[in-house]
A and B are shown apart, each in its own frame.
Chain A
């Protein structure tokens, strides 16, 4: 009888212990969000969202160019990376030749595992140095390299998830394979594919390391895509490491803006996915 009591005791203790683990880890998220919202909320003002940075030591100004710059470079990365990942994923799922497809898959996984700073080094070597200029193009390119494997894998995964019956039904009606893919399979998987793409875009929006030696930074509005461009994550980095209290305040504000953009995108993507797939699984 005593043995059972002991076992019950251990059971309750461990339940509590693992619960504490969960609470600890989740509370970290609350601390992050709370601290950021508190400090960032205090610091955000209209100037921050609309003005350019002021010279060192002067109080005030904002990060309008960084907010827009981030949007532009993420847009560039999406323009390059999403089609490549999407169409490549279609190849792997629908038309793939066994060995070649495996090679592509392996390479995509390899690309996914490249540390982000190494991607920056690669982009500097192949774009910045030959072009003799830091540029938004180089930054967008570097970010697209991180987006491609994500888009590729999620496209392939969701296409393979479409039931065979659907494909066979369309083929039985006499449609050629490409038509089946384009008009039946892809739309059926679209929700999942879109989710994967949105999550990928949200991920690269927060990346700093690939931009350090590609887009560098800009105190003003970039006059073209072939010029250096400011980006929010890079600004947070430089301002946080500075000694100026006003720059710290702006770093908090920028952190809040960035986190808001990333989290809202994430939650939207998950919501899109959770509305159910377009096709009933058989």
Chain B
């Protein structure tokens, strides 16, 4: 017999002690909810702040190629163009190199080398953006200005058609510089994730190909890579998402020109760069809200691309962990 039964009045019974489980649940719930709240607040705030420009320009904002703070006329097209152009340029350079390196590290390299190289590549992903910008400004720009761009201008620039991509003064700054820097920054993502996707391909697929007399390359290119292709494409999308949102490295080399140019050698602007440069001096509600609207556009684009990337990577993972025979 423990404690004597005490008749507790009903009113008092309401103040029972919270059990440990409930407190823990509540505490962690509060923090989880705060994550949800702050994200909702962020999206709502962006929507609010971009109100004036959305009201004034509507959908015409996306077609407008004029960015004139003095006249109060703002159009997003030059920045959307610059953002997409530099990112695509980056992928054109980094995808062949990155996927090639991933194939090497996953399939063809001796294991010790593969581990060491993979480690080094993953460290590349940790290098801050501003340091890429520093290197871009002091090493890549002079290289482009003094050697690469004059070379491109006098060879490819002379060919009719393609030539318009390589006209104009060779400043070093511009779309090409931004594309090169972004390519370097996306290498680690493409290599790491493609490599993981390749490693998820079941051994028996490779061994079956080899047993049929294929060379290592044939086994890789005709069996493994197609099997992992969704994951590889996913890594490309992830690299793209990273390139689209990149601010500092691009701001330091893009040349700050809010106009559309056909030539890759020309200066341009990206959404992230224009916000970084002009936000503190955006005098007037319309100017500031136009910049915020640009930010919203960029956010939306990265959400879509990130979402697609994740779907593709998950699809490969599902295949990889399929039932073994």
Contacts and interface: CB of A to CB of B under 8 A. Distances in A.
Interface of A: 7-8, 10-11, 14-15, 17-22, 24-26, 28-29, 31-32, 35-36, 83-85, 87-88, 90-92, 94-96, 100-101, 103-104, 107-111, 113-122, 124-126, 145, 148-149, 152, 176-179, 181-182, 199, 202-203, 205-209, 212-213, 233, 236-237, 240-241, 248, 251-252, 255, 258-259, 262-263, 266-267, 270
Looking at A15, A22, A116, A148, which has the most chain B CB atoms within 10 Å of its CB?
A22
Looking at A29, A84, A92, which has the most chain B CB atoms within 10 Å of its CB?
A29
B295 interface: yes
A14 B216 CA distance: 10
B35 A117 contact: no
A205 B41 CA distance: 25
A115 B302 contact: yes
A179 B20 contact: yes
Contacts of A199: 126
Interface in B242-296: 244-245, 247-248, 251-252, 272, 275-276, 279-280, 291-292, 295-296
Interface residues of B, number: 85
Given A21-B101, A22-B105, A117 B191 contact: no
B195 to A, nearest CB: 10
A126 B46 CA distance: 11
B279 A29 contact: no
A113 B42 CA distance: 12
A262 B134 contact: no
A206 B123 CA distance: 14
Interface string B5-39: 00000000000000111011101110111111011
18 contacts: A11-B217, A19-B109, A21-B98, A22-B105, A24-B101, A29-B121, A92-B32, A109-B306, A109-B310, A111-B39, A113-B245, A116-B247, A121-B295, A208-B247, A212-B280, A233-B248, A236-B134, A255-B130
Contacts of A24: 97, 101
B97 A84 contact: no
Interface in B211-263: 215-218, 220-221, 241, 244-245, 247-248, 251-252
Given A88-B32, A91-B32, A107-B36, A259 B128 contact: yes
A259 B298 CA distance: 28
B127 interface: yes
B117 interface: yes
A107 B20 contact: no
A117 B131 contact: no
Nearest to B25: A95
A258 B115 CA distance: 26
B59 to A, nearest CB: 21
B19 to A, nearest CB: 7
A22 B100 contact: yes
Given A178-B25, A241-B137, 20 more contacts: A17-B100, A21-B96, A21-B99, A22-B101, A28-B124, A29-B127, A87-B27, A91-B29, A100-B32, A107-B36, A111-B39, A119-B42, A121-B275, A176-B20, A179-B20, A182-B24, A206-B130, A208-B130, A255-B130, A263-B126
B35 A25 contact: no
Given A206-B129, A237-B252, A121 B109 contact: no
B81 to A, nearest CB: 17
A103 B137 CA distance: 42
Contacts of B215: 7-8, 10-11
Contact of A25 (B187, B216, B280): B187
B159 interface: no
A95 to B, nearest CB: 5
Contacts of B23: 178
A17 B41 CA distance: 49
A21 B94 CA distance: 10
Contacts of A240: 133-134, 137-138, 252
A108 B39 contact: yes
Nearest to A93: B28
A206 B124 CA distance: 13
B3 interface: no
B155 interface: no
Given A117-B272, A121-B292, A22 B104 contact: yes
Given A7-B218, A10-B215, A83-B31, A95 B24 contact: yes
